[in-house]
């Protein structure tokens, strides 16, 4: 299957980054290279782009796609290691970074990857297929308490107890091997009127398991702090999130970085000595407009936040 991915909020990302032609930019999640291609169009031969992806399929696609560019480096790595890798490359300051926290269309549509609710395949959900933990292990070996934790914490699923009960009962009889089996178990946890009326009842559980498998929220705040710290004065960071959990982390991290005193309101004088290191480019998240949503339904939940280093 060809690695295709329609870049979300592309024009807004490029405008938000305010790209300098000779700058150093980091695409922390290259995917199919959509955003990276647009960044490169703004760079001269003196500019540089470093891209990261933990999915080897994406790395192979981008290495081929940008093989004729002398100013592009593609790295197979979890984006949370980006600051360390940049340090190892001798890069201590950058002009901008982009983090797209979404799952690529290729990963979702390819049933073999085990992300898809619609296309049946073995339970997997690993963005990096070299890691051991996968969705099969989570579904079939996690305890009741662990499953409840991830469904409540990462899925905010109100029917978590019923879903977990049904998962435990099903796996006593035989292992839950495919996404289709898991989807059926989840749907059996809801009244038929909900399943056939509103649909999409499996989304929250699939999201929760995917986040657990890939550790998507682990260390995200620390990464954002480090990437903001790497920005040169006037440099910008852009982050696209797709659900409330990750957006809350981005929002809170950006707010703290752009705030001076953080003492309690009734404190007579500042004792925290906290100084802002950046300013918010957009106070409210940028969202997709109707035209983009019609062309790419996966942009519906996307939120873009941009910050500028002082």
Q: What's the average model confidence in pLDDT over 238-267? A: 93
* H/E stretch holding 137: helix 135-141
Q: Give CATH 3.40.50.150 domain extents, the chain.
A: 10-101+218-309
Task: Summarize pLDDT for 97-128 with one digit per residue, the tens.
Answer: 999 998 876 677 777 888 888 888 999 999 98
Task: Summarize pLDDT for 132-154 with one digit per residue, the tens.
Answer: 999 999 999 999 999 999 999 99
Q: Chain-wide mean pLDDT for the chain?
A: 93
State how far the Cα of 86 lies from the Cα of 266, in Å rounded to an integer: 42
Q: Which fold has domain 117-214?
A: DNA polymerase; domain 1 (1.10.150)
Q: Give CATH 1.10.150.170 domain extents, the chain.
A: 117-214
Distances 153 to 142, 204, 232, 301 between C-alpha atoms, Å? 15, 11, 35, 19
Map residue 120 onto helix, strand or coil: coil
Instruction: Give yes or no for residue 199 having a pLDDT over 70.
Output: no
Q: Domain 10-101+218-309's class?
A: alpha beta
* H/E stretch holding 27: strand 24-27
Residue 95: how many other CB atoms lie within 10 Å? 24
State how far the Cα of 5 lies from the Cα of 105, in Å rounded to an integer: 5
**pTM tops 0.95:** no
Q: What's the average model confidence in pLDDT over 30-42? A: 95
Predicted local distance difference test score (pLDDT) of residue 4: 60
80: Cα separation from own chain's centroid? 11
State how far the Cα of 261 lies from the Cα of 274, in Å rounded to an integer: 5
Task: Summarize pLDDT for 9-33 with one digit per residue, the tens.
Answer: 999 999 999 999 999 999 999 999 9
Q: Which of 102-116, 125-139, 154-168, 219-233 has the lowest mean pLDDT?
A: 102-116
């Amino acid at each position: 299957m060809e690695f295709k991915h329609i870049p979300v909020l592309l024009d807004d990302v490029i405008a938000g980054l305010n790209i300098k032609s000779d700058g150093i930019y980091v695409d922390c999640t290259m995917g199919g290279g959509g955003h990276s291609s647009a960044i490169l169009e703004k760079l001269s031969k003196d500019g540089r782009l470093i891209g990261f992806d933990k999915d080897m399929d994406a790395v192979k696609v981008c290495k081929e796609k940008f093989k004729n560019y002398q100013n592009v480096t593609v790295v197979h790595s979890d984006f949370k290691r980006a600051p360390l890798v940049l340090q190892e490359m001798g890069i201590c300051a950058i002009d901008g970074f982009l983090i797209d926290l979404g799952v690529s269309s290729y990963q979702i549509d390819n049933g073999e990857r085990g992300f898809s609710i619609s296309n049946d395949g073995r339970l997997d959900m690993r963005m990096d297929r070299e890691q051991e933990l996968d969705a099969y292990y989570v579904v079939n070996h996690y305890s009741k308490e662990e499953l409840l934790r991830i469904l409540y914490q990462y899925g905010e699923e109100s029917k978590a107890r019923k879903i977990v009960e049904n998962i435990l009962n099903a796996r006593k009889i035989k292992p839950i091997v495919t996404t289709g089996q898991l989807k059926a178990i989840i749907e059996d946890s809801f009244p038929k009127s909900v399943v056939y009326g509103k649909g999409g009842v499996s989304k929250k559980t699939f999201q929760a398991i995917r986040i657990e498998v890939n550790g998507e929220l682990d260390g995200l705040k620390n990464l954002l702090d480090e990437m903001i710290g790497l920005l040169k004065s006037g440099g910008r960071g852009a982050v696209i999130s797709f659900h409330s959990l990750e957006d809350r982390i981005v929002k809170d991290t950006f707010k703290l970085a752009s705030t001076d005193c953080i003492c309690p309101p009734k404190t007579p004088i500042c004792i925290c000595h906290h100084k802002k290191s950046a300013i918010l480019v957009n106070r409210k998240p940028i969202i997709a407009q109707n035209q983009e949503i019609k062309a790419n339904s996966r942009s519906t939940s996307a939120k873009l936040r941009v910050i500028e280093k002082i």
